[in-house]
A and B are shown apart, each in its own frame.
Chain A
Amino acid sequence: MPEHQRGEQNVQQQNCGLNRPEVEDFLYLEADHLDQWALDEWLGLWSESGELSYQVAPTGEDDPGSLESSSTMFLISDNRYRLEQRIVRMKKNSFHAEYVRSRTRHMYGHVRIIHQDARQAGVQFNASVYRTKGSETVIYPSLVRATLARTPGGLRLVKKRVELDLYCLATMGALTILL
């Protein structure tokens, strides 16, 4: 079973006391940072300790949940270093792909806590991200699997993995927004 799904089978012994409204509040803030292009604030929502992972699985796969970035070519698979570098790049004037920035609207729904232990929780939700560039708007529908950790500073992202329902990246083929 892929590592990101493993927790679903765990018998809960202890948990970190997360409930859905708390998770939703956190996710809405996360979505809001993205829609505002508040990239540093968004990065600030990620856990500072340990390894983190931000991934977008490839399109056109029957079972994207079964894929691992170590053996499959993902669209994006960032560890901490590369995610930080991605943000650095996204803020530069030479980030030509978003020279005129896309407007985005991240809509999250069907939020569920899948499992939790003393430190962190695995959550799953549906997302549809609207992206407008010039006169065109596209929608990115997806299932998102995330891991949230309770830290002294509040809830933090440890993992965010986006599994798009798209057959391919059609209109606006370059994925230069954060999903």
Chain B
Amino acid sequence: MDKCYKSRFLNINPAEKTFLVHRDAYRDPEVFALEQKKVLHKSWIALAHEAEIAKPGDFITRTVVGKDLVLNRDRNGVVRGFYNSCRHRGAAVCRDRGGNSKSFVCPYHGWVYRDDGVLVSTGSPEADAAFPDGFCDGRTTLLSVPNLQQYAGFYFVNFDPDAQSLESFLGGAADCLQMISEHSAVGMEVISGVHEYEINANYKLLCENSYDGYHLSSVHASYVEYLVETMKGSGMELKPVGAARSFGHGHACFEIAIKAGRAVAQWIPSMGEKVREEVEAKREEVIARVGEERGNVICDTHRNMVIFPNSVINDQQSVLVRSIVPTAYNRMMVRAWTLGPIDESDTLREIRLDNMLSFLGPGGFATPDDVAMLELCQRAYEATDVEWNDFSKGFSAEEITREGAEADLYDELQMRAYWLEWDRMMNA
């Protein structure tokens, strides 16, 4: 791209090295309605991890991009995704957050669905007799979501019947998920406890923030001071080094080597001498399994990744998945859950959770300050007439066409990759 590019939402000038995004993308309710259709319902959305539905009969209910879903593993081991709505008059057939069940019984008139979604009873033999023949013989089923696929244990849904495969959608981002699955030889599990909180801001603001390296030293000054404090006298230094990387399809991450400690597997003094041996043994196990180079990347670097358009996967103090549910143009619900190796010892599990809580989550030392910034931005979009946001930091026109472009950690390549894809889909 050498020429200027201008759309309703983007204004890119390669000669001037400027990249601007119009604030209507965050503040216009009509844009939000349009992007539900054109972006959110046409992309793969992270839903769950396979560990949540490990056994036949396991089910969970989730809301993603405005759709209430049931995800389960049926008696034959097949993983299924349904809309949580009875085919009779619509009531939710499942009111629990999760559990194990061979069937779903609608509370309204008592229709019974088998775990593969097939209606097997309309409440009683008398009721069955009043329906046409064969009504309960496979003719009526819960409605399945159009597409449900998994990669490296992460389940995604896509509401577009013509969707490309998950793997081709993920492109280069797939390897980051693969790397997470390599934290353990026997697999990962979802740790109990979920952080669910709302933010009064457009969901894209949280995506941008999740891999924004530029804000670390300003917004997280108090967290960085805390980290430095924990390292006092250890001879270790924080020294973050890293890069921002785009993967195509709007996905990108920043990868940063920082001594913040990881249960898989980087020891730092604040974990205590007692566990040093165990963390280092875990590190050797990973390296023996996946090789030295990859093992070092897994153990020493944090990857904050946004899978376009709303799935944030942070591989850092722990693996934290943020499923963002956009609820209005200026509001989102965040559902954050964390993963750890199935075979992790109690000691390491405790360290993992402790280490993560210091940074992440609505009661951590970092996330609340991010939330405050996003809400300040959103408020100004709605209460001022300023039109354009600036994403020019480190912009060079050739990054747009380069596969797997890389940039300085503190640049804004990640967000430009996101906005180019978003703009493309909005104009499609």
Distance to closest chain B CB from A134 (angstroms): 10
Q: What is the 8 Å Cβ interface bit string for chain A, positions 145-167, against chain B (1 contact, 0 not)?
A: 00000000000000000000001
A1 within 8 A of B: no
Q: Which residues of B contact A89 (CB under 8 A)?
A: 222-223, 226, 365
Smallest CB-CB separation from A171: which chain B residue? B198
Interface centre among A59, A72, A169 (most CB of B within 10 A): A169
B152 within 8 A of A: no
A95 within 8 A of B: yes
Q: What is the 8 Å Cβ interface bit string for chain B, positions 209-227, against chain A (1 contact, 0 not)?
A: 0000000000101110010
Binding stretch for chain B, among A29-37, A39-47, A73-81: A73-81
- Cα A42 to Cα B88 in complex, Å, equals 57
Q: What is the 8 Å Cβ interface bit string for chain B, positions 289-317, against chain A (1 contact, 0 not)?
A: 00000000000000000000000000000
A175 within 8 A of B: yes
- Cα A175 to Cα B369 in complex, Å, equals 11
- Cα A36 to Cα B146 in complex, Å, equals 54
Q: What is the 8 Å Cβ interface bit string for chain B, positions 351-390, against chain A (1 contact, 0 not)?
A: 0011011100111010111011100000000000000000
Interface centre among B337, B358, B372 (most CB of A within 10 A): B372
A14 within 8 A of B: no
Q: Is the CB of A58 within 8 A of B367?
A: no
B195 within 8 A of A: yes
Identify whether the interface residues of A are mostly helix, strand, loop, or mixed: loop
Residue in contact with A77 in the complex, picked from B353, B371, B373, CB distance below 8 Å: B353
- Cα A75 to Cα B196 in complex, Å, equals 10
Q: Is the CB of B191 within 8 A of A73?
A: yes
Q: Which residues of A contact B235 (CB under 8 A)?
A: none
B334 within 8 A of A: yes
Given A94-B222, A173-B334: A74 and B357 within 8 A (CB)?
yes
Distance to closest chain A CB from B201 (angstroms): 10
Q: Is the CB of B195 within 8 A of A95?
A: no
Given A60-B97, A70-B350, A173-B334: A75 and B363 within 8 A (CB)?
yes
Distance to closest chain A CB from B66 (angstroms): 17
Q: Is the CB of B194 within 8 A of A70?
A: no
Residue in contact with B196 in the complex, picked from A70, A168, A176, CB distance below 8 Å: A168
Distance to closest chain B CB from A67 (angstroms): 7
Contacts of B196-211 to chain A: CB distance below 8 A: 196-199
A interface bracket (residues with beta carbon within 8 Å of B): 35 or more
Smallest CB-CB separation from A61: which chain B residue? B193
A137 within 8 A of B: no
Residue in contact with A96 in the complex, picked from B97, B219, B354, CB distance below 8 Å: B219
Interface centre among B191, B197, B354, B373 (most CB of A within 10 A): B197
Q: Which residues of A contact B371 (CB under 8 A)?
A: 97, 173-174
- Cα A74 to Cα B354 in complex, Å, equals 9
Q: Is the CB of A169 within 8 A of B198?
A: yes
Q: Is the CB of A86 within 8 A of B365?
A: yes
B192 within 8 A of A: yes
A110 within 8 A of B: no
Q: Which residues of A contact B219 (CB under 8 A)?
A: 96
B162 within 8 A of A: no
Q: Which residues of A contact B361 (CB under 8 A)?
A: 73, 75
Given A71-B191, A72-B192, A94-B221: A173 and B346 within 8 A (CB)?
no
Q: Which residues of B contact A86 (CB under 8 A)?
A: 365
Given A89-B226, A95-B369: A71 and B346 within 8 A (CB)?
yes
- Cα A135 to Cα B26 in complex, Å, equals 23
Q: Is the CB of A173 within 8 A of B199?
A: yes
Q: Is the CB of A97 within 8 A of B372?
A: yes
Q: Is the CB of B362 within 8 A of A175?
A: yes
Q: Is the CB of A174 within 8 A of B197?
A: yes
Q: What 15 additional pairs, Cβ within 8 angstroms, besides A59-B194, A71-B191? A: A58-B193, A60-B196, A67-B192, A73-B338, A88-B226, A89-B222, A95-B222, A95-B369, A97-B372, A168-B333, A173-B197, A173-B199, A174-B362, A174-B371, A176-B368
24 A-B contacts (beta carbon < 8 Å): A58-B193, A58-B194, A59-B194, A59-B196, A60-B97, A69-B353, A71-B192, A72-B192, A72-B193, A73-B193, A74-B353, A75-B363, A76-B363, A82-B358, A92-B221, A94-B222, A95-B369, A96-B219, A96-B369, A168-B197, A171-B198, A173-B334, A174-B368, A174-B371
Q: Which A residues are closer than 8 A to B by beta carbons? A: 56, 58-61, 67, 69-77, 82, 85-86, 88-89, 92, 94-97, 99, 167-171, 173-176
